[in-house]
Amino acid sequence: MLTAEEKHQIDHEISLVPAPKNACIEALKIVQHNHGWISDESLKDVADYVGMSPAELDSVATFYNLIFRRPVGRHVILLCDSISCYIMGYEGIKEALHKKLNIQYGQTTADGRFTLLPNCCLGTCDCAPALMIDNDLYRNLTVEQLDEILNKYT
Amino acid sequence: MEKPLTQHIVPGRAPLSLKEYEKVGGYQSVRKILKEMTPQEVQALVKESDLKGRGGAGFNTGLKWSFVPMGPDAATPKYLVANADEMEPGTFKDRVLLEGNPHQLIEGMILAAYAIQASISYVFLRWAYKVAAREITKAIQEAYDAGYLGQNILGSGFNLDMHLHTGVGRYMCGEETALLNALEGKRANPRAKPPFPQVSGLFGKPTIVNNVETLCCLPHIVNNGAEWFKKLGLTVDAGTKLFGVSGRVKTPGCWELPMGTTIREILEDYAGGMQDGYLFRGLLPGGASTDFLVEEHLDLPMDYPSIQAAGSRMGTGTMIIMDDQTCPVGFTLNLQHFFAQESCGFCTPCREGLPWVEKILLAIDKGEGKPEHLLTLDFHTKYLGPGNTFCALAPGAMEPLQSALKYFREDFERHIHEHHCPWSKAKAWQPSI
């Protein structure tokens, strides 16, 4: 069920575009912001609200890298795996994260704290390697810094 | 040396507020055109300045605008979109402008919107640029409060609304027609052209999509004139350009320099040359989808025709340096993995061809390559080249591959003959998931 507040926010987005379905990505963002991901139930709720079939909306939702159709942890780690970070040795960071968190790409820690995902170029190539956790960008990464960074997130 | 675009950007300092920006001449160009110039005169000025699109294609901006229907019979509303979906691997120049001086972008967008008589504008921003999102939101509100946006701007009768749209991640969104689909709440597949967006773009209305850096040039052209802008360039191309360098150099970064500055000067004087213990082998001059250049090209000026004559493209002007300790096969594999993953899947050559290329490169990198694999890669560079796919993604992907096969073929052959990667296995790259 969409909450009254979610409906209010989605209504605002709909008011800016010619047809309700044009606001579907914004609607998914609003719901994901509250739930962390888009469940089948949320997908159907949003589809009904903006006048699309669930299948049509899912074709949009699954197209984009940052709409999560599976549950994620409380914090999402996005590790840049593009070319400048490759040159600067991001694999060392990746291996260290795998070991520290005991998860591979696409997995969530047993305590639900972190999900680890690879990510395309974060646009900070002069400070490679880089990663983002939630809204925070970390650059010029070394393996030694990882514990301190991860400890900020509970 | 004049640095109009970055003159008010100080790394580590918050961008200028609207009041501070006005004190250093901000929004003067808006006052000027609303009072003194017709939209057609603004178009003519920008065309005359020879400003070329800074997103990679390098098309004359004023000429691009001139295809928008004008006059009382033109369809409305018209739209202006700032393409701030910077996602080309190795590219980090628009971030500097977005985080450093958002009012300059808004000022440029008002000028562009006026020139085509657009009444609604969007900043299409990459989700990852969180600081930029915050600063642009603040700046748009300030511009509304000061009467530079909204109805009847500065009493001129010109109206313009501006919205920030943050994307949800997909390289395709940088392609202008795919970006428009994303803005309409659809999958970001590219559209067939014609009709061109100038005639039928966002929601079927006339639309211009311009890159952030392109838009940021506009206030300076209006304030100082076309001749001034042309003279900023050292060679045939006009203006300054944000050039960047990443990789194993001493001081990677992004600098505003005259168009036509040589690669060597950028690499040695600004990026500080190679790090100790690393040797230069090649570079991609303008992001992941440009052809390799090598030692013999270092004295070329960074301008559109010079880089094109050398078989590459200036692209975004942000160079990626390949050093001697990075495996050229692993480097190319990393790029092709990116392109295969980011293909929208709409057209067959791109959807099927890029994963095939990736698989072959992975086999070669693991020491399982066969001599005939190189021929398969060669024909892909033709079959996925310009004219064979629906948009420019796959042809762009083929640019670094075809030039890697040309300049580093021996390294590919060594992998095949020696049945392993001659570079450190610790650096051997495996695609994710």
Backbone angles phi, psi at B260, to 5 degrees: 95, 0
Q: CA B318, CA A100: separation in Å to the nearest integer?
A: 34
Pick the CATH number of B18-232 from 3.10.110.10, 3.40.50.11540, 3.10.20.30, 3.40.190.10: 3.40.50.11540
For residue B431, what pLDDT band results from cuts at 50, 70 and 90? low
E-only strand ranges, A39-90: 75-80
By Cβ distance, the residue of B89, B170, B426 closest to A121 is B89
Does domain A75-151 match CATH 3.40.1390.10?
Answer: no
pLDDT above 70 coverage of chain B, percent: 98
Whether the predicted pLDDT of B276 surpasses 60: yes
Q: Which two tokens stand for residue B244?
A: 């960047």
Alpha carbon of B307: minimum distance to chain A alpha carbons (Å): 21
Average pLDDT, whole number, for chain B? 96
pLDDT at B354: 98
> Cβ of A81 and B432 within 8 Å?
yes
B254 Cα to chain A: minimum distance (Å): 8
State the pLDDT at residue B12: 87
> What angle separates helix A54-61 from helix A40-50, to the nearest 10 degrees?
110
Distance CA B196, CA B318 (A): 28
- CB contact (8 A) between residue A65 and residue B169: yes
| Residue B427 in this model has a pLDDT that exceeds 80 | no
Would the pLDDT of A27 be above 80? yes
Please give the pLDDT value at position B212: 98
Q: Do A91 and B429 touch (CB under 8 A)?
A: yes
Query: Who's near B191: CB < 8 A, 6+ residues apart?
Result: B177, B178, B180, B181
> pLDDT (tens digit, 9 = 90+) per residue, A60-101?
999 999 999 999 999 999 999 999 999 999 999 999 999 999
SS (H, E, C) B80-135: EEEEECCCCCCCCCHHHHHHHCHHHHHHHHHHHHHHHCCCEEEEEECCCCHHHHHH
The pLDDT score that the predictor gives to residue B56 is 86
Contact A146, A97 (CB under 8 A): yes
CA–CA distances in Å: residue B95 to residues B130, B211, B338, B356, B373: 10, 12, 21, 33, 39
pLDDT at B332: 98
- pLDDT higher than 80, residue B430: no
Say yes or no for a CB contact (<8 Å) between A87 and B247.
Answer: yes
Q: Which CATH number fits domain B240-323: 3.10.20.600, 3.90.950.10, 1.10.3470.10, 2.102.10.10?
A: 3.10.20.600
pLDDT at B57: 86
Handedness of CA A101, A103, A104, A106 (dihedral sign): negative
**pLDDT at residue B175, rounded to an integer:** 93
Residues B170-213: tens digit of each pLDDT: 999 999 999 999 999 999 999 999 999 999 999 999 999 999 99
The amino acid at B120: I
Q: Which long-range contacts (CB under 8 A, 24 or more apart) does B13-16 make?
A: B14/B135, B15/B99, B15/B100, B15/B101, B15/B102, B15/B103, B15/B135, B15/B139, B16/B101, B16/B103
Residue B15 has pLDDT above 50, yes or no: yes
Q: pLDDT tens digits, residue range A96-126?
A: 999 999 999 999 999 999 999 999 999 999 9
Written as six digits, the tokens of B420 are 């392993």
The 3-state DSSP class for residue B13 equals coil
Q: What pLDDT was estimated at residue B426?
A: 47
Domain coordinates in residue numbering, chain B: 18-232, 240-323, 328-427
- Alpha carbon distance B21, B101 (integer Å): 9
Give the pLDDT mean for B109-137. 97
Tokens of B171: 């390289």
pLDDT-based confidence at residue B75 (cuts at 50, 70, 90) = very high
Across the interface, of B95, B130, B342, the residue whose CB is closest to A120 is B342
CATH number of the domain at B328-427, please?
Answer: 1.20.1440.230
Dump pLDDT digits (tens) for B376-394.
Answer: 999 999 999 999 999 999 9
Q: Tell me the average pLDDT across B69-95.
A: 96
Indicate whether B419 pLDDT > 70: yes
Q: Is pLDDT at B432 greater than 60 in this prediction?
A: no
CA distance A135 to chain B (A): 7
CATH 1.10.286 fits A4-61, yes or no: no
Whether A130 shows a pLDDT value over 80: the answer reads yes
pLDDT, average across residues A127-134? 97
A82 and B246: CB-CB below 8 Å?
no
Is residue B14's pLDDT more than 70?
Answer: yes
